Amino acid sequence: MEKRQLGTSGLEVSALGLGCMGLSFGLGPVTPPAEAVKLIRAAFDRGVTFFDTAEAYGELNEMLVGQALASVRDQVVIATKFGFKEGNAQLGVDSRPERIRLVIEQSLRRMKTDYIDLFYQHRVDPNVPMEDVAGTVKELIAEGKVRHFGLSEAGVPSIRKAHAVQPVAALQSEYSLWWREPEQEILPTLAELGIGFVPFSPLGKGFLTGKIDENTQFDKSDFRNSVPRFSPEARKNNQALVDLLGRIAQQKQATPAQIALAWLLAQKPWIAPIPGTSKLHRLEENLGGASLKLSADDLREIEDAAAQITIEGARYPAALQQLVGR
């Protein structure tokens, strides 16, 4: 698989990474651990070198990543995150320096590794100066426990403050054909500062695959039940975007998911999306998107058609929306 540089940090990753959250958190039943480890290893065997987890996804998630990648640790980039009270997003944010230091020690122990390649602040903490957050990670880098600093869902002022103290290697935020807000201020700022971009939910939390419609029932533990954009009415109205991807996919002998990922990869050379899945056939389908090249005409056709579609529904419930863009 093609490799990409995340900005000017020198951090090289596979063009597509693997978001590991859904293996044990947030998207319904937990994948049996042996299957999860097998899937992560299958991703590596197929060229993926970039794996994303977080304290907030639970101890098991980090342990699975560490177990799966132990024998190839020097060949992969592992990203994890700090920033929530007791590692629980429901309890609010906590990026106090002492908390950051506790999280890194716990993550290293769970993953049985000596260092984390990319350590993100999961959400900006308005109660802790960004200079203190970045300064703490800078110290961890000096100590060899962390190699690169990242932010997730941060706004432009926070990105600039952090980058002035410790260069930010990557920003992780939602970005896809159905959530394009980063194009307004975020992408120009990242380009200016030489920061890479790691889009999560590049397939619209599964919606852009074409496998979800207004009648789809989610498991009761699936957080999409609380997302306004996933109400049956919003799904019905947003089907037009999936139909567009389906038309382009038919022309290219591909799938809607592959078109959505190829579109993202075509936006900037320093973008590395992290689609997640628990199924091997979906993993293989997603990776096919990395080798699919869209021409200038293809991209223009998608752009013109997408401009005619209005996406309905907020991407987060109100409480979670307050945590982004700060």
pLDDT of residue 288: 97
Whether residue 237 has pLDDT greater than 80: yes
Q: What DSSP character marks residue 195?
A: B
162 belongs to a structural domain = yes
Distance CA 84, CA 70 (A): 26
Question: What pLDDT, in 10s, does the model give residues 43-59?
Answer: 999 999 999 999 999 99
Task: Please state the pTM of the whole predicted model.
Answer: 0.95
For residue 174, tell me if it sits in a domain: yes
Exactly one of 57, 115, 120, 316 is catalytic; which is it?
A: 57
Query: Does some domain include residue 39?
Result: yes
Task: Give the containing element (helix H, strand E) for 151.
Answer: strand 146-152
Stretch 270-278: mean pLDDT: 97
* Rounded CA Rg of the chain: 19
pLDDT in tens, 98-156: 999 999 999 999 999 999 999 999 999 999 999 999 999 999 999 999 999 999 999 99
Cα 11 to Cα 4: distance, rounded to the nearest angstrom: 8
Supply the pLDDT for residue 236: 92
As a whole number, mean pLDDT of residues 165-169 equals 98
The answer to whether residue 175 is catalytic is no
Neighbour count for residue 269 (Cβ, 10 Å): 12
Q: Compute the residue count for the chain.
A: 326
Q: Is 44 helix (H, G, I), strand (E, B) or coil?
A: helix
Q: Is 47 within the bounds of a domain? A: yes
Query: What's the rounded mean pLDDT across residues 24-39?
Result: 92
Spatial distance between the Cα atoms of 298 and 203, rounded to a whole number of angstroms: 18
Task: Tell whether 262 is covered by a domain.
Answer: yes
Among 193, 188, 189, 144, CA closest to 164: 193
The rounded distance, in Å, linking the Cα atoms of 244 and 208 is 10
Are the CB atoms for 57 and 25 separated by under 8 Å?
yes
Handedness of CA 221, 222, 228, 230 (dihedral sign): negative
User: How many domains are there within the chain?
Assistant: 1
Half-sphere exposure of 47 (CA within 13 A, CB side): 14
CATH number at residue 227: 3.20.20.100
Write out the residue range of the structural domain in which residue 176 sits: 3-321
